[in-house]
Amino acid sequence: RKEVEQDPGPFNVPEGATVAFNCTYSNSASQSFFWYRQDCRKEPKLLMSVYSSGNEDGRFTAQLNRASQYISLLIRDSKLSDSATYLCVVRGFNKFYFGSGTKLNVKP
């Protein structure tokens, strides 16, 4: 079983839509959680950390449910520039585990 599982998508949404991605992780001892964004043929870039209390950064909201080992990312008012692959990342003991990513296409 993979450490981090994500729906690969693609999610095709119109501009202005709200879209949500989920991921699950297998190790209950995981310590910290992140969402990274990756554009085609580019390196992953940190989008936001995810905290148990939930956190927001502009149009982006991340939630963590430790009991269900589940992480979510909500994007409101989608922009064309949000089109990318979103990677769910979980830090275990001294190692970061990446999901395969969820592809988002925002269309005009």
Binding range to another protein, per CB under 8 A, among 36-44, 52-60, 61-69, 76-84: 36-44
**Partner residues linked to 22 by β-bridges:** 72
Nearer to another protein, 49 or 72 (CB): 49
* Residue 82 three-state SS: helix
Q: What is the nearest approach in angstroms of another protein to the Cβ of residue 15?
A: 26
- The verdict on 1 binding another protein (CB under 8 A) reads no
Residue 84, class by beta-carbon neighbours within 10 Å (0-12 exposed, 13-18 middle, 19+ buried)? buried
Residue nearer to another protein on the CB measure, 8 or 16 = 8
Tokens 């589940």 found at: 70
The answer to whether residue 45 forms part of the interface with another protein (CB under 8 A) is yes
Binding of residue 104 to another protein (CB under 8 A):
no
Residue 60 in tokens: 């982006």
Binding of another protein by 16 (CB under 8 A): no
- Give, as ranges, the residues between 48 and 67 that touch another protein (CB under 8 A): 49
Q: Is 79 in the site for another protein (CB under 8 A)?
A: no
Q: Helix or strand or coil: residue 101?
A: coil
Note whether 108 and 15 are within 8 A (CB): yes
